[in-house]
A = this chain, B = another copy of it.
């Protein structure tokens, strides 16, 4: 079994942001030389997420508004600790902090519109993503 682990750091200028990281993940897959396996991608912070969906700017704004509706910025118990990012924790739970991508014939085996996104919900500071490839 081969494996390769890489870490990427994102520091978004906005509190909430959505970054297409498909190319970065693909590069790690190529570097790993894994032909058949899985690529695991996860935010290492609990106020960010990873999801697979469309690279269409209107939809990305729809997703952002929808997340704010279901997990709004508000006054949470968590804020008694001095934090103000309770909503970011809930948004992270909603989109999930991680995804798995299949690798076939040495490349990501995605459908025609599937793109991998890093979803930042509490940005303006450096945050890490782990990409781990396993397979053969």
Does A33 make an interface contact (CB < 8 A)? Answer: no
The distance from the CB of A19 to the nearest CB of chain B, in whole angstroms, is 16
Q: A89 touching B54 by the CB < 8 A rule?
A: yes
Chain B residues with CB under 8 Å of A112's CB are 44
A12 to chain B, nearest CB (A): 17
- Whether A63 contacts B93 by the Cβ 8 Å rule is yes
Q: Tell me the dominant secondary structure on chain A's binding face.
A: mixed
| B53→A66 contact, CB < 8 A | no
- Per assembly, the copies of the chain total 3
Q: Which of B58, B90, B96, B136 contacts A80 (CB 8 A)?
A: B58
Known contacts A37-B134, A40-B102, A136-B1; A58 and B46 CB within 8 A of each other: no
- A21: shortest Cβ distance to chain B, in Å? 16
**A46:B3 contact, CB within 8 angstroms:** no
Minimum distance in angstroms from A85 CB to a CB of chain B: 10
Shortest Cβ distance from A47 into chain B, in angstroms? 9
Across the A-B interface, the 3 shortest Cβ-Cβ residue pairs? A44-B111, A58-B77, A59-B78
